[in-house]
Amino acid sequence: MQYNAELIAVGTELLLGNIANTDAQMLSEELSTLGINVYYHTVVGDNPQRLREALEIARKRANIIITTGGLGPTYDDLTKQTICETFGLPLEFHEDIWEDICAYFMKRMKREDIPEGNKQQAMLPVGCTVLDNPVGTAPGCAFEKDGVHVLMLPGPPYECRYLFEHRARAYLEKLTHDRIFSHELRIFGMGESHVEEKLHDIMVRSTNPTLAPYAKTGEVMLRATAKAHTKEEAEAMLAPLIAEVKETLGDVVYGEDVESLEEVVLPLLKERGLTLSFAESCTGGLLAKRLTDLPGASAVFRGGVVSYTNAVKANILGVPEDLLDRYGAVSENVAIAMAEGCRNICGSDLALSVTGVAGPDRDDRGHEVGTVYMALAAADGTICRLVDIKKGRSRGHIRHLAGHHAFDLIRRKLLGLPL
């Protein structure tokens, strides 16, 4: 049987934008791994009538309804009551749940005077599966009525995740037999529309497994997804699709199931026993931060210089002042001198420099915003690349994309790919 789910988040604070609905994101990701389709997300304020209307719509188009929020002890926490009225189920008091709530208050809050309002949290639908909550005072529950499975989870993200992972998942796994398995391919150097054009025929003919592109900041992510009974079956289905994608797109595919270019560069440096340093101008230390955010970076990263002024470029990195005077800081000559100077003072095998115009205005030499030079110095020589990050971008976006280009240049050097 195919199961389709609708998520209903209850809380006026969500509608007002006071908090983000992170529960829905988490639940959608988790449900997809169970082979359950999520077709609708609904957000309703703390209003019984509107919640009742949302439930009536949901039960007509989904056979699994998962609600989050509205299970607290206050007057506006009416999710259980409204759901039970809608599905014609009475509520009953669970003495064991009330004892758990009292124990939670005494252990976690050091209180014996439990508010009377918390008793309503021990009221649950007759015949339901109780999803006890050891990390909060709001238990969840699940029941089936007229072919629709309803699961109620608390709204606080930590409690919601805990109850799903430790309670609700087991309930749902009994319903489903297929599982969803996926791999993500990361692409840099080709835009989403170009990727989609090259892969159009593959995506059209692929039904299981499927292939879908997603635009990320400065790059593209492809998700290959298969539905199967076991992981082994899914992997056998996904392997030829992933191989075909890699063959079609070539070396712009920089990694599989990774989050960033630096996550690829770090192990490559380790495997080759190489060290790296940075000389940064317009990126202001961003490259060093991105690399050192990764565990194990100390094995390869020697250090860096943020040479935001010409004086630091000359006095620390040793960039000849005549180069700065003749060509300006944003130039191939200066980028090369920065990289070579950084490699020398840090004693690293590789050194990468970045110098450019992040905006909002042109520099004193008339270079357009988004003009970025980067050089990579190594034992076998120094190479330089001019990157034209189109104007109209923010400073942050230009710096972010410059970082992408920098790590991609290192990746290509280490793998012997065209530079």
Condensed to tens digits (0 to 9), the pLDDT of residues 125-146 reads: 999 999 999 999 999 999 999 9
Phi-psi region of 366 (alpha: psi -120 to 50; beta: other; left: phi over 0): left
Phi-psi region of 250 (alpha: psi -120 to 50; beta: other; left: phi over 0): left
Q: Cα 232–238–242 angle (5° rounding)?
A: 140
Cα first-last separation, the chain: 51
Q: Say which residues have a Cβ less than 8 Å from residue 321's Cβ, sequence separation at least 6.
A: 310, 314
Condensed to tens digits (0 to 9), the pLDDT of residues 236-285 reads: 999 999 999 999 999 999 999 999 999 999 999 999 999 999 999 999 99
Residue 142 bridge partners (DSSP): 129, 151
3-state helix, strand, coil in the chain (%, to 5): 45, 25, 30
Which is it for the CA torsion 109, 111, 112, 115, positive or negative?
Answer: negative
Condensed to tens digits (0 to 9), the pLDDT of residues 69-95 reads: 999 988 778 999 999 999 999 999 999
DSSP codes of every residue in 36-63: -EEEEEEEE-S-HHHHHHHHHHHHHH-S
Tokens 């026993």, residue located: 273
DSSP codes of every residue in 99-137: HHHHHHHHHHS--S---GGGGGGGEEETTPEEE--TTSS
Residue 130 bridge partners (DSSP): 141
| Alpha carbon distance 410, 419 (integer Å) | 9
Q: How far is CA 89 from CA 67, 76, 145, in A?
A: 16, 20, 9
Q: How confident is the model at residue 391 (pLDDT cuts 50, 70, 90)?
A: low
Condensed to tens digits (0 to 9), the pLDDT of residues 324-346 reads: 999 999 999 999 999 999 999 99
Nearest one of 239, 346, 364 to 303, comparing CA atoms: 346
Determine if the pTM surpasses 0.85: no
Q: How far is CA 384 from CA 37, 203, 310, 338, 356, in A?
A: 48, 37, 19, 11, 13
How confident is the model at residue 17, as a pLDDT? Answer: 95
Q: Cα 211–216–222 angle (5° rounding)?
A: 15
How confident is the model at residue 418, as a pLDDT? Answer: 93
Tokens 């709204």, residue located: 155
% of the chain beyond a pLDDT of 70: 99
Residue 301 bridge partners (DSSP): 276
Q: Which two tokens stand for residue 332?
A: 């191939």
> For 93, phi and psi rounded to 5 degrees?
-85, 130
Condensed to tens digits (0 to 9), the pLDDT of residues 16-54 reads: 999 999 999 999 999 988 889 999 999 999 999 999 999
| Alpha carbon distance 3, 57 (integer Å) | 16
pLDDT at 392 over 70: no
| Alpha carbon distance 276, 350 (integer Å) | 5
| Cβ neighbour number for residue 186 with a 10 Å cutoff | 21
Q: Cα 171–172–173 angle (5° rounding)?
A: 95
pLDDT at 361 over 90: no
